Amino acid sequence: MAPGLIEPPAEMKWVKLRTADNPVEAGFVRGLLEAAGIPVQVRSMELWTAAVEIYFAEGARPSVWVPEAHLERAEQVLDEQASVRHWPDWSCRRCGTRMEGQFTACWRCGAGRDDPDDYPHNNLDMQ
Ligand SMILES: [Zn+2]
């Protein structure tokens, strides 16, 4: 532990969950975890902050910390989110509707994201 480091105000042991690329990402992760009922702290360098909106020095990457007891659950939350965000937006091959990545099938015509171009759709009456 380097001298001058500010300790978190905690009885709990905090562990670093993730280093974010920027404060926006840190805030996003924090929001996810808080929504799951997990205590979160965002830290940049030696600075503990209550607000993610604080200015982070250039090159300083904020990190997201959680109590050790919540680490496993926090990883789960992020994994679930990652599996959703993994997919880029896509366009339906069948009808051309633009989909967000979390959808696995076209809400308009029912074609699946990974269906081949010649996927046989019955009773399709788009025209
Ligand atoms: Zn479609």
What DSSP assignment string belongs to 61-114?
A: --EEEEEGGGHHHHHHHHHHHHHHHTSPPEE-TTT--EE-TT-SB-TTT--BTT
Distance from residue 93's CA to the centre of ligand 1 (Å) = 7
> Which tokens belong to 103?
């959808």
Amino acid at 118: D
Long-range interactions of 57-63: CB distance < 8 A, separation 24+? 61/19, 61/20, 61/21, 61/22, 62/19, 62/20, 62/22, 62/23, 62/26, 63/16, 63/17, 63/18, 63/19, 63/20, 63/26
Between 12 and 34, the higher pLDDT residue: 34
Fold that domain 14-85 belongs to in CATH: Alpha-Beta Plaits (3.30.70)
Q: Which position has the higher pLDDT, 115 or 28? A: 28
**How far away, in angstroms, is 82 Cα from ligand 1 center?**
25
Query: For 10-36, what is the mean pLDDT?
Result: 86
Structure confidence by residue, pLDDT tens digits, 65-94: 999 999 999 999 988 877 655 667 889 989
- What is the per-residue pLDDT for 54? 52
Whole-number Å distance, alpha carbon 95 to ligand 1 midpoint, is: 4
46 vs 115: which has the higher pLDDT: 115
Cα 121 to middle of ligand 1, angstroms = 10
Per-residue pLDDT at 7: 59
pTM over 0.75: no
* Mean pLDDT to the nearest integer, 22-38: 89
